[in-house]
Amino acid sequence: MEVINFLIFLALSGVIILSALAVLFSPKIVYSVIGAVVCFLGVAGIFLQLNADFVGISQIVIYGVGISILFIFAIMLTSQEEEKNLWIALKPRLFVALLSVGLLFTLIVFCITGGGKKFDNAGVFNIVDVEKSHIEFLKKEGTTNLIGQRLFTDYVLPFEILSLLLLAGIVGAGVLAGKDDELDREEK
């Protein structure tokens, strides 16, 4: 059973990393968006494997449907003919970026495994496995009830501020990308 879990994790992480590399190295921008959508769906699979059903389903809806549609519309409205020289930066910048990001990744691995000493599946956190009773409870009830309880008692202030932020985002995006009446009148 644990081997199946590990194989599912390997398959999902392979999908995620390959599609992220497709985002980075695709010459056409539409291929990058398709790679990003596959990456979002892979991340949703990781969330479902981590017993987070509400977050996983909302990841599919918000990222896989909403944000990909936004990107496709933006590509449609800003399409240029020559896309070949928009692929990736010139050689020095790409190599410096890869080198520095490689250093960052080494630093993160160093911090997680405690200096390379604790290279097992718990790292410096000393957490090995989830309790069976917790997993049974989550399989029976799901996380929606827990999220709802905490969200509307302890975290109600960030929730209200988030609704104001969404309103401001909607109005602002509509104003920024909308038609410019003064410009049209000047042209006439």
Partner 1 sequence: MEFLTLGLVHYLLLAAVLFCIGLVCVVASKHLIRMLLGVELMLNAVNINLVAFSNYKMYIDGEIFAMFIMAIAVCEVAVGLAILIAIFKNTGSINADEQDSLKG
Question: What Å distances lie between residue 79 and 29, 49, 87, CA to CA?
Answer: 10, 38, 14
Q: Please give the DSSP secondary-structure letter assigned to residue 159.
A: H
CB of 185 to partner 1, least distance (A): 16
Which CB, 3 or 188, lies closer to partner 1?
3
Smallest gap, in angstroms, from Cβ of residue 143 to partner 1?
6
Rounded CA separation 54/141 (Å): 11
* Of 41 and 188, CB closest to partner 1: 41
- Could you tell me the smallest distance in angstroms from the CB atom of residue 74 to partner 1? 4
* Closest approach of partner 1 to the CB of residue 6, in Å: 5
State which residue, 178 or 188, has the beta carbon closest to partner 1.
Answer: 178
Neighbour-count burial of 39, counting CB atoms closer than 10 A to its CB (0-12 exposed, 13-18 middle, 19+ buried): buried
CB of 98 or CB of 139, closer to partner 1: 98
Name the residue nearer to partner 1 (CB basis): 63 or 188: 63
**Long-range contacts formed by 80-87: CB under 8 A, 24+ apart:** 83/27, 83/28, 83/29, 84/27, 86/29, 87/27
User: DSSP secondary-structure letter at 115?
Assistant: T
CB of 167 vs partner 1, minimal distance in Å: 10
If we measure between CA atoms, which residue out of 161, 139, 141 comes closest to residue 151?
A: 161
Minimum CB–partner distance for residue 34 and partner 1 (Å): 11
* 85 vs 140 by CB, closer to partner 1: 85
Rounded to whole angstroms, the Cα distance separating 116 from 120 reads 10
